[in-house]
Amino acid sequence: MEKIILDCDPGHDDAIAILLAAANPAINLLGITTVSGNHNVDNTTRNALSTCTAYGIKVPVAKGSHGPIVAEQVLAIEIHGETGLDGPELPPASFDLDKRHAVDFIIDTVMEHEAKTVTLVPVGPWTNIALAIRKEPRIVERVKRVVGMGGAYTRGNITPTAEFNIYADAEAADVVFRANWDVTMVGLDLTQTQALATPDLQDRVRAIGGSISTFILDIWAFIATTHGGLLQIAYPAIHDAVCVAALIDPTILTTEKADIRVETSGRWTRGMTVCNFEKMGGMRHFGGTAAEQVDFRHSVAMTLDHPRFCDMIVDAVERLTRLKNSS
């Protein structure tokens, strides 16, 4: 079983990441930590609790950072709506928050578990993870790996070159990519073209029936309007859930090795994830000092097995529906 901490800003696709993490028997969801991103952290935390309640699950939820480390706060209300999770009915939380700050929850959990057994899954701005490194650097050698949604190697969604999660806290992402651990970047190039809630997937979820099916369909109905309208994505993009799917079954993704640097000072390119792919020859480098020489230790997600991704989502809705009905 993959032990994970899901660090998120629900968020429509974040809620599907929670669904997979909570329902799939291959995942041991140690906790959910929240961060400001799609909306402020009060709303994303409320949305995390409401989502768990809607699914009938109870896991530790710890509230995290109120804003980026250095940058001005940027939210995605135009995409995710006034609540940060517009569309589905958000039930009042059926349980209380963990008393710790998300950063302390991450540190405690990583340090308590055997080394190299806990995977961090940041799917909002990467603020909490960077602050956890700064507060307790030993987490870097203890964590198994980081599989995060963010970045792009072609084009962005908040600026021409930057993806939202990385742009929203570029300094934090820079800290996370520079740390000496295994990072897989699940970026927009994949998620907004391949991880889509196609009509066929929506029909399969509809056929299950019940309140969880309705919750998921309402999520997709709302986000279809903003993804379709503002971003011109054909169907709802389920970005964040891809990270969890890849931990359930790594063969669902193909990846390529790269050296990824985050642009923190570019006039037009702030928040860009500059990817130097090993397959491009490995002779190019970033120039400058020795610290800036090439090191292909990151992975970039390239392709997704969409039919199996859909099967995982359908299976998760079925499982949680069965459990909810039997409780």
Binding site for ligand BDR (CB under 6 A): 11, 13-14, 38, 76, 79, 123, 149, 157, 163-165, 188, 239-240
Say which residue the tokens 């990519």 belong to.
177
Closest distance between ligand BDR and the C-beta of residue 192, in Å?
Answer: 8
Closest distance between ligand BDR and the C-beta of residue 114, in Å?
Answer: 29
Distance of CA 140 to the CA centre of its chain: 19
3-class DSSP string for 234-288: CCCECCCHHHHHHHHCHHHEEEEEEEEEECCCCCCCCCCEEEEEHHHCCCCCCCC
Closest distance between ligand BDR and the C-beta of residue 84, in Å?
Answer: 9
Which of Ca ion, ligand BDR, none does residue 174 bind (CB under 5 to 8 Å by kind)?
A: none
> Which residue minimizes CB distance to ligand BDR?
164
List binders of Ca ion among 114-153 (CB under 5 A): 123-124
3-class DSSP string for 114-157: CCCCEEEEECCCCHHHHHHHHHCCCHHHHCCEEEEECCCCCCCC
**Can 101 be counted among the known catalytic residues?**
no
CB 27 within 8 A of CB 93: no
- Residue 11 found at the interface with Ca ion (CB under 5 A): yes
- CA-to-CA distance for 279 and 305, rounded, in angstroms? 22
Smaller CB distance to ligand BDR: residue 100 or 239? Answer: 239
- CA-to-CA distance for 90 and 302, rounded, in angstroms? 34
- Residue 14 found at the interface with Ca ion (CB under 5 A): yes
- CA-to-CA distance for 82 and 50, rounded, in angstroms? 15
Stretch that binds Ca ion, among 9-17, 77-85, 206-214, 311-319 (CB under 5 A): 9-17
Closest distance between ligand BDR and the C-beta of residue 11, in Å?
Answer: 4
Determine the 3-state secondary structure of 318 from DSSP.
Answer: helix
Which of Ca ion, ligand BDR, none does residue 79 bind (CB under 5 to 8 Å by kind)?
A: ligand BDR
Q: What are phi and psi of 268, to 5 degrees?
A: -110, -5
Smaller CB distance to ligand BDR: residue 8 or 142? Answer: 8
Q: Per the residue annotation, which of 12, 39, 101, 239 is the catalytic one?
A: 239
Closest distance between Ca ion and the C-beta of residue 296, in Å?
Answer: 27
CB 165 within 8 A of CB 125: yes
- For Ca ion, the binding residues (CB under 5 A) are 9, 11, 14, 123-124, 240
- By annotation, the residues acting in catalysis are 239
